[in-house]
Amino acid sequence: MKRQIIITSDGSNSIYVEDLKEHYHSIHGAIGESQHIFIQSGLFSDNLKQQQTLSILEIGFGTGLNALLTCFAAIETAQKIDYLTIEPCPLTDKEIKALNYADILPYPQVKEVFQRIHAAEWESNKSITDHFVITKRKLSALDVILPNDHIDLVYFDAFSPEVQPELWTNVLFEKIFNSMKSHGVFVTYSTKGNVKRALKQTGFRIEKLPGPAGKREILRGFKY
């Protein structure tokens, strides 16, 4: 797959996949988008505030930006996070080195942390900081086996339903729903009608929230 590194409006990089005509993030700002959807609307949601430990599932590890932001947000919230991320097509070392997140984000030792996240071996647990343990799995979300009643928060960050319709179906949503604890939170950027319908049919209570720059709304689901 031919991929190209681009710069988004907030100065942070993203990736453009030529064959799919699809970006990894919003062209209006990759960091801004990740921060808004996954950290502010997911990690910082009221449901999860009281918990000292959190189990997060990410669909689509990609550049590692969501993992990096979560790792530092965990220091802010004083939570211990277990982060399971699924990615069948990892970036190359050359692509990872070209990403500028660690040059932009104002966190202590952000370069080392970003490097440790990417250097973590696939299929094993790796402690990145006192607050953050990552497990990267190199396979499709369609093939992963998840434990029941375990996940507190889901970052659903696959390619869009137009490009990957097979990932935005009841089949995968049900697997994810069953893996979540009751009161768990699910966040994603797509508000397409059939995505909302499939999530509702699966059992999620969903709500629309204001989106980041360039996007009117995003979706948040709760398992009750």
Least Å distance between CB 155 and ligand SAM?
Answer: 7
Residues 6+ apart with CB under 8 A from 145: none
- How far apart are alpha carbons 15 and 31 in whole angstroms? 13
3-state helix, strand, coil in the chain (%, to 5): 35, 30, 35
**Contacting residue, 122, 142, 200, 210, with ligand SAM by CB under 6 A:** 142
Tokens for 68, please give them.
């990096």
Strand order in the sheet with 3-7: 3-7, 13-17, 22-23
Phi/psi at 7 (5° precision): -110, 130
Q: How many residues interact with ligand SAM (rule CB under 6 A)?
A: 20
Stated as kind and residue range, the H or E segment containing 182 is strand 180-188
CA distance readout (Å), 152 to 40, 108, 139, 204, 221: 15, 27, 21, 14, 12
Window 90 to 119, contacts with ligand SAM (CB under 6 A): none
Residue 88 as a binder of ligand SAM (CB under 6 A): the answer is yes
- How far apart are alpha carbons 169 and 183 in whole angstroms? 21
Stretch that binds ligand SAM, among 40-48, 84-92, 106-114, 125-133 (CB under 6 A): 84-92
Q: Which is nearer to ligand SAM, 22 or 82 (CB)?
A: 22
Q: What sign does the dihedral 119-44-168-213 (CA atoms) show?
A: negative
Stretch that binds ligand SAM, among 41-49, 63-71, 74-82, 101-109 (CB under 6 A): 63-71
Window 182 to 211, contacts with ligand SAM (CB under 6 A): none
Contact string 157-176 vs ligand SAM (x = CB under 6 A): xxx-------x---------
Contact string 22-61 vs ligand SAM (x = CB under 6 A): --x---------x------------------------xxx
Q: Which is nearer to ligand SAM, 49 or 194 (CB)?
A: 194
**Contacting residue, 44, 49, 53, 89, with ligand SAM by CB under 6 A:** 89
Residues making contact with ligand SAM (CB under 6 A): 24, 34, 59-63, 65-66, 86-89, 140-142, 157-159, 167
